[in-house]
Chain A
Amino acid sequence: MRYIPNSPDERAEMLQVVGLGSAEELFSSIPADLLLRAPLNTPAALSEIELLAGFEETAGRNRAARRPSFLGAGAYSHYSPTIVDHLIQRSEFFTAYTPYQPEISQGTLQVIFEFQTLVCQLTGMEVANASMYDGSTALAEAVLMAERVTRRQKVVVSESVHPEYLEVISTYVQHAGIELQRLGFDAATGQTAPAALSLLDERTAALVVQSPNFFGCIEDINALAERAHSVGALLVVCVTEAASFGLLRPPGASGADIVVAEGQSFGIPLSFGGPYLGLFATRERYARQIPGRLVGEAVDKEGRRGFVLTLATREQHIRREKATSNICTNEGLIALAATIYLETMGPTGVREVAMQCAQKAAYAARRIGGIEGFTLPFNAPRFNEFIVRAPSEANALLSRLAAERNITGGLALSRYYRDRPNDFLVCVTETNSRAEIDALAEGLAALTR
């Protein structure tokens, strides 16, 4: 086995040194009836050539990966500068462990400190952690944190939050004594329905919304914050399309108390859903209630600046069952990728990406909205996603579009909403050319003519 340095002879010598006659004796503390008698039934060892051929073959059957695509809904196709993937492959980053020994982990620690700063700048918040698994689990952790901060047990969640995120919240809180109440959305605007906010009361720990929401509609965060705060609840804002930070008013500037986001848009490959990057930011006064790792500035005896993991008493390795979360390993390398992405793009690039997304989406919406039989059911302001109502069943239409026009036209909402058979969600980013958008519109028109 080429990954094992010691040759069989060397291993035989080492066995002798430790006083054993055979490799089997290494396992003498395992009762004999538990020892496997035959090799595992896993595939025989492959060479590099064979193995790559196998993975190329499975990759080839992922047909959607090679097609112009207008899929979004929590995972976005954005441009990633070449240096992002290059730099994260440096041994010093990708083969390092969690930075528990600061003297020989300053590279990773400084990256996380920069990452925390960037997340604060983008969200308009005061403190951010070193990352969570993804947007959905970050949102579930935000709900748990709101309960800790307010010591209230009811959480009101807008229906316009990503359906899979709603499922994850439900799983996380099912044994936490938290009661979830769903808040409907307005049929005309697609935003969280103002009338439904009467669900908020003095028992409410948090109001949870997503913006832009699952339908692509931008929520009125200021107004929602006011309503939440009027009953002493926190406002938790979730963002699945982090590119929107480049254009939209940051939730922190509109009164949000906790902001979580999926950071995949910052240069991270789609990779069939992961690994992604949970962003988690809040107000300074709640810093001791944050889940996960935090990096802070420190000095050594000679006054040199360095960085350390800090406020660790919140975490599971110290506070055990009373910890703010059970999270240990987070998404370090993905946070590094996002940091490199954001620093390479800079304020100008982050703004330009956001502007191109919004402009191209507006163009696509005009094109598709203008096709006979197609409507855009929601009228709220949007960023780069919008719902289209087709004249026929969306799922069948999109399948034909893929088969006949080689375009993945979007996500049929029937995957999550049985009562919306004709609706589909279209996402446009800076990677979609005008020609692709035109082909999408022409394809939709041709297939419904």
Chain B
Amino acid sequence: MNSTNITKVTTHPTQNEALIFERSQPGRVGYRLPALDVEETPLDELLPGNLRRDDHLEGMPEVSEVDVIRHFTRISTWNYSIDLGLYPLGSCTMKYNSRLNERVARIPGHANLHPLASEEDAQGALQVIYELEQHLSEITGLAGVSLQPAAGAHGEMTGVMLIRAYIDARDGEGASARRRTMLIPDSAHGTNPASANLSGFKVKTIRSTPEGLTDLDHLRELCAVGDIAGLMLTNPNTVGLFERNITEICRIVHEAGGLVYMDGANMNALVGVARPGDMGVDVIHLNLHKTFSTPHGGGGPGCGPCCCTRELEPFLPVPRVIKDEDKFRLDFDRPRSIGRVKAFFGNFGMMLRALAYIQTHGPEGLREATEAAVLNARYIAHGLTADYDKPFEAPPMHEVVFTDKRQSRKGVHTLDIAKRLIDYGFHPMTIYFPLIVQGAMLIEPTESVGRQELDQFISAMQGIAREAAENPELVLNAPHTTRIGRLDEAAAARKPVLRWKPREAASAA
């Protein structure tokens, strides 16, 4: 495969599926409802004309059931997926999504349960929530758990609000008003500063050391200012290294009157091996759609439980699920709570799947998964060191970062390497993150991949390194095997087209 001008078959129906709106044919129907079985109320009596829509939902597609099946089946084949192969996105933990968990979430007694059903009529669901909270508490070593947040960033916001509420209660509103600084490492996920900002904190950035760890001197210096509310830290951090000074870090922050928030995006490196609560962390969010294998679904839904110490527990969102003898009930009477962060109880369907994951693994299986995930990352780190620049010496945990330093001398950059990887049959790694590493390639294989496939990945990366040296054009123009080539993102952002419009309307605009 060395030609950059492979001629593509251009008429293949499965490769040319149009937008559904362009497929629409007047009069096609894809559904059937039972006939109305009550006496009809005259329309004007039902609803005054000025309140009714008069556009006949024009533009919505008219298609048959067969059309819908073909449409989605065809376009689905343009996606990469975990079930197809290694999905080495660092910081995303793309592990196997068990079909058993899908089946569990679809059991009618759970799937058809209304969130406002009375407590007596929803005992099974309340038990699921209660038990999952118990297990996550055990896994993190933190006493209080709320499953209400819908995703990681939502859990972060919840956690940061807990810190704010706790400090306000501890110091009094007036005194705590002087503690409005949240420390965040320069390597953090963008959601951290965004969540801190939502909770009314000013963000100060902590430098990382050349070894890729939090700079303790800088941390001490920032803490000495006396205005810090807390620190938001990812551990293992976003370059895949365990913050070995974590106990000291927590001590420094606590002595300065702050609390430590841990971003749990990387918990897949720790489950069954070490617990944030034992490290001195006060609050953490988990991503059930990462560590606990609930499907990522092309961008969600997630579930972002917030786990915290006993001291912070009174501030968790309402309601809480309480066990009284053998009955479960909802407790709304939580005067110190930060309030509700979402209607109802959170993404219950994800909780079922995560509970099934924990029950399927058992304690030994949970640890085994962590070991396998870290071993796989270590294996890739070992396999790529000869060909790619590895900016940090220390052995990585569940993910490893490389850079394009060597390849960029030939004009081949991280983006090009990522795109070329597609031609070898793999989804690219996370690129240009963390921001502190120039040309970063962050690779997280997870435990869900066997040695043969790891070897294939390593040899693909080695092949690309060779191509970058010998035939850089080949890499620069990649991918060559996909339905479409690289898209002009600048043009798309200059004149955004964010929806389909009927042809006449589109040309008139």
Contact present between A and B (CB < 8 A): yes
Please name 16 further chain A to chain B contacts, defined as beta carbons within 8 Å, in addition to the given A249-B52, A272-B348, A363-B41, sorted by A numbering. Answer: A64-B118, A65-B114, A91-B84, A92-B77, A104-B427, A107-B75, A128-B498, A137-B341, A247-B53, A272-B345, A294-B496, A328-B153, A331-B300, A349-B30, A353-B33, A408-B117
B68 interface residue, CB < 8 Å from A?
yes
- Residues of chain B in range 262-302 having any CB-CB distance to chain A below 8 Å: 271-275, 278-279, 287, 289, 293, 295-302
Q: Which of A77, A262, A293, A310 has the most CB of B within 10 A?
A: A310
Closest-by-CB residue of A relative to B117 is: A64
Output the nearest chain B residue to A51 by Cβ-Cβ distance: B359
Query: Considering the chains assembled together, what is the distance between the CA atoms of A351 and B29 in angstroms?
Result: 13
In the complex, are the beta carbons of A326 and B124 less than 8 A apart? Answer: no
- The DSSP consensus for interface residues of chain B is loop
Query: Cβ of B121 and Cβ of A346 under 8 Å apart?
Result: no
Residues of A within 8 A of B133 (CB): none
A143 within 8 A of B: no
Contacts of A227 in B (CB 8 A): none
**Beta-carbon contact of B72 and A340 below 8 Å:** yes
| Count of A-B residue pairs with CB < 8 Å | 683
Query: Which B230-279 residues have C-beta < 8 A from chain A?
Result: 241-242, 244, 246-247, 271-275, 278-279
B60 touches A118 (CB 8 A): yes
Asked if A231 is an interface residue, CB under 8 A from chain B, the answer is: no
Pairs of residues from A and B, 8 with the lowest C-beta to C-beta distance, nearest first: A59-B109, A333-B297, A45-B362, A273-B344, A332-B299, A175-B200, A273-B115, A5-B450
* Contact yes or no, B75 A320, CB < 8 A: no
Identify the closest chain B residue to A114 (Cβ): B20
Residues on B with beta carbons closer than 8 Å to the beta carbon of A3: 95-96, 98, 293, 360-361, 369, 447-448
Chain B residues near A19 (CB-CB < 8 A) = 382
- The complex places the Cα of A363 from the Cα of B40 at a distance, in Å, of 8
Q: Cβ of B63 and Cβ of A343 under 8 Å apart?
A: yes
Asked if A17 and B379 sit within 8 Å, CB to CB, the answer is yes
Considering the complex, which residues of chain A in the window 394-448 have a beta carbon less than 8 Å from any beta carbon of chain B?
398-399, 402, 408, 411, 415, 430, 433-434, 437
B442 at the interface (CB under 8 A from A): no
A-B contact pairs, 29 of them (CB 8 A): A3-B95, A6-B451, A14-B451, A23-B371, A27-B242, A29-B242, A40-B367, A41-B138, A45-B365, A51-B104, A51-B356, A59-B124, A64-B118, A91-B82, A103-B484, A107-B75, A114-B500, A117-B19, A134-B343, A164-B340, A174-B338, A262-B343, A273-B344, A287-B498, A296-B492, A299-B487, A311-B493, A333-B298, A352-B33
- The 8 Å CB contact of B36, one of A328, A356, A408, is A356
The residue that B360 contacts in the complex, of A18, A46, A85, with Cβ under 8 A, is A46
In the docked arrangement, what's the CA distance between A44 and B135, Å? Answer: 12
Q: For the complex, is B150 an interface residue (Cβ under 8 Å from A)?
A: yes
Contact assessment for A36 and B297 in the assembled complex, using a CB-CB cutoff below 8 Å: no
| Chain B contacts for A55, CB-based, 8 A | 104, 107, 110, 352, 356
Of residues 62 to 76 in B, which have CB atoms within 8 Å of A's CB atoms? 62-63, 65, 68-69, 71-73, 75-76
Q: Are A62 and B448 in contact (CB under 8 A)?
A: no
Asked if A329 and B450 sit within 8 Å, CB to CB, the answer is no
A368 sits at the interface (CB 8 A): no
B448 to chain A, nearest CB (A): 7
Q: In the complex, which residues of chain A have a beta carbon less than 8 angstroms from the beta carbon of B190?
A: 315-320, 323, 328
A98 touching B418, Cβ below 8 Å: no
A29 adjacent to B395 (CB under 8 Å) = yes
Which segment, of A119-127, A147-155, A196-204, faces chain B? A119-127
Q: How far is the CB of B4 from chain A (nearest CB, A)?
A: 11
CB-based contact A310/B274 at 8 Å: no
Inter-chain CA distance A77–B115, complex, in Å, is 11
Q: Are B241 and A29 in contact (CB under 8 A)?
A: yes
| Cβ B242 vs Cβ A30 within 8 A | yes
Are the C-beta atoms of B121 and A408 separated by less than 8 Å? yes
Stretch at the interface among A68-76, A181-189, A370-378, A385-393: A68-76
A142 / chain B contacts, CB cutoff of 8 Å: none
Whether the pair A58, B69 counts as a contact (CB closer than 8 A) is no
Give complex CA distance A79, B300 in Å.
Answer: 23
Q: Which of A26, A175, A319, A408 has a CB less than 8 Å from the CB of B114?
A: A408
Closest A residue to B197 using CB positions: A321
A 1-40 to B, binary, CB cutoff 8 A, 1 in contact else 0: 1011110001101110111100100111111011110011
Chain A residues, Cβ within 8 Å of B98:
3
Residues of A within 8 A of B104 (CB): 51-52, 55
B295 touches A94 (CB 8 A): yes
Contact of B78 with A106 in the complex, beta carbons under 8 Å: yes
B199 within 8 A of A: yes
Question: CA of A334 to CA of B347 in the docked complex: distance in angstroms?
Answer: 11
Residues of the A chain whose Cβ atoms lie less than 8 Å from the Cβ of B300: 131, 275, 329-334
A58-B125, A85-B106, A349-B30 given as contacts; is B19 within 8 A of A110 (CB)? yes
Contact check, A101 vs B427: say whether CB atoms are below 8 A apart: yes
Asked whether any CB of chain B lies closer than 8 Å to the CB of A193, the reply is no
Please, how many angstroms separate the alpha-carbon atoms of A99 and B428 in the complex?
11
CB of A34 within 8 A of CB of B150, answer no
* Residues of chain B in range 351-384 having any CB-CB distance to chain A below 8 Å: 352, 356, 358-369, 371-372, 374-376, 378-379, 381-382
Set of chain B residues within 8 Å of A172, measured between Cβ atoms: 198, 341
Question: Measured between C-beta atoms, what is the minimum distance from A268 to chain B in Å?
Answer: 9
Determine whether the beta carbon of A103 is less than 8 Å from that of B116: no
Q: Is B485 an interface residue (CB 8 A)?
A: yes
* B504 CB contacts on chain A under 8 angstroms: none
- Is A45 a contact partner of B361 (Cβ separation < 8 A)? yes
Please tell me if B464 contacts chain A, counting CB pairs below 8 Å.
no
Distance in angstroms from B336 CB to nearest chain A CB is 13
Q: Assuming A272-B114, A333-B300, is B364 touching A39 (CB within 8 A)?
A: yes
Asked whether A111 is an interface residue with its Cβ less than 8 Å from the other chain, the reply is yes
- If A1-B368, A298-B491, A344-B31 touch, whether A93 touches B448 (CB-CB below 8 Å) is no
Say if the beta carbon of B350 comes within 8 Å of chain A: yes
| Cβ distance A192 to chain B, nearest Cβ, rounded Å | 15
For residue B109, which residues in chain A have a CB less than 8 angstroms away from its CB?
Answer: 56, 58-62, 65-66
Contact check, B295 vs A333: say whether CB atoms are below 8 A apart.
yes
Against A, the Cβ 8 Å flags (1 = close, 0 = not) of B290-323 are: 0001011111111100000000000001100000
Asked if A176 and B200 sit within 8 Å, CB to CB, the answer is: yes
Q: CA of A35 to CA of B246 in the docked complex: distance in angstroms?
A: 13
B361:A1 contact, CB within 8 angstroms: yes
Q: How far is the CA of A367 from the CA of B154 in the complex (A)?
A: 44
B175 at the interface (CB under 8 A from A): no
Complex contact A363–B38 (CB within 8 A): yes
Once the chains bind, are B112 and A301 in contact (CB under 8 Å)?
Answer: no
User: With the chains together, A42 CA to B134 CA distance in Å?
Assistant: 9
* Cross-chain contact A346 with B61 (CB below 8 angstroms): yes
Chain B residues near A300 (CB-CB < 8 A): 484-488
- A319–B76 Cα distance when bound, in Å, is 31
Establish whether residues A62 and B154, one from each chain, have CB atoms under 8 Å apart when the complex forms. no
B57 near A122 with CB under 8 A, answer yes
